[in-house]
Homo-oligomer: A and B are copies of this chain.
Amino acid sequence: MKEQFYSYIKDLQNQITKALEKVDGKASFREDLWNRTEGGGGQSRIIENGEVIEKGGVNISAVHGPLPESMQAYFKVGNVDFFACGLSLVIHPKNPMAPTVHGNWRYFEMYNENSECIDQWFGGGLDLTPYYLFEEDAKHFHLQCKKACDAHDSHFYTEFKDKCDGYFHNSHRGEARGVGGLFFDYLKADKKYSIEDRYDFTTEVGNAFLEAYIPILEKRKSMSYTPAQRTWQEIRRGRYVEFNLVHDKGTLFGLKTNGRIESILMSLPPTVQWSYDHQPDSDSDESKLLEVLKNPKSWV
- A214 interface residue (CB < 8 Å to B): no
- A225 interface residue (CB < 8 Å to B): no
A245 to B242, CA, bound (A): 7
Contacts of A261 on B, CB cut-off 8 Å?
A: 172-173
Contacts of A255 on B, CB cut-off 8 Å?
A: 172, 246
- A275 interface residue (CB < 8 Å to B): yes
Closest to A242 in B: B245
- A289 interface residue (CB < 8 Å to B): no
Judge whether B273 and A272 touch: CB under 8 Å: yes
A252 to B172, CA, bound (A): 10
Judge whether B275 and A262 touch: CB under 8 Å: no
- A276 interface residue (CB < 8 Å to B): yes
A277 to B59, CA, bound (A): 14
**Given A274-B265, A275-B270, A276-B46, A246 contacting B252 (CB threshold 8 A):** yes
Judge whether A271 and B271 touch: CB under 8 Å: yes
Judge whether B271 and A172 touch: CB under 8 Å: no
Q: How many Å from the CB of A270 to the closest CB on chain B?
A: 6
- A197 interface residue (CB < 8 Å to B): no
- The listed residue with most B CB atoms (<10 A of its CB), out of A173, A256, A276, A277, is A276
Contacts of A266 on B, CB cut-off 8 Å?
A: 276
Contacts of A293 on B, CB cut-off 8 Å?
A: none
- A57 interface residue (CB < 8 Å to B): yes
Return 27 A-B CB contacts under 8 Å, by A number: A32-B277, A46-B276, A48-B276, A55-B274, A55-B275, A57-B276, A172-B255, A172-B256, A172-B261, A234-B271, A238-B272, A241-B245, A242-B245, A246-B246, A246-B252, A262-B277, A265-B274, A268-B274, A269-B274, A270-B273, A270-B274, A270-B275, A271-B271, A271-B273, A272-B272, A272-B273, A272-B274
Q: How many Å from the CB of A150 to the closest CB on chain B?
A: 37
Contacts of A269 on B, CB cut-off 8 Å?
A: 274
A246 contacts which of B172, B245, B277 (Cβ < 8 Å)? B245
Q: Which 4 A-B pairs have the closest CB atoms?
A: A245-B245, A268-B274, A172-B255, A262-B277
Contacts of A46 on B, CB cut-off 8 Å?
A: 276-277
Closest to A279 in B: B262
Extra pairs beyond A55-B275, A172-B261, A262-B277 (5, CB < 8 Å): A55-B276, A57-B276, A238-B268, A241-B272, A268-B274
Closest to A246 in B: B245
A260 to B55, CA, bound (A): 32
Contacts of A276 on B, CB cut-off 8 Å?
A: 46, 48, 55, 57, 262, 266
Contacts of A246 on B, CB cut-off 8 Å?
A: 245-246, 252, 255
| Those of A90-119 within 8 Å (CB) of chain B | none
Judge whether A272 and B275 touch: CB under 8 Å: no
Closest to A57 in B: B276
Closest to A243 in B: B245
Closest to A252 in B: B246
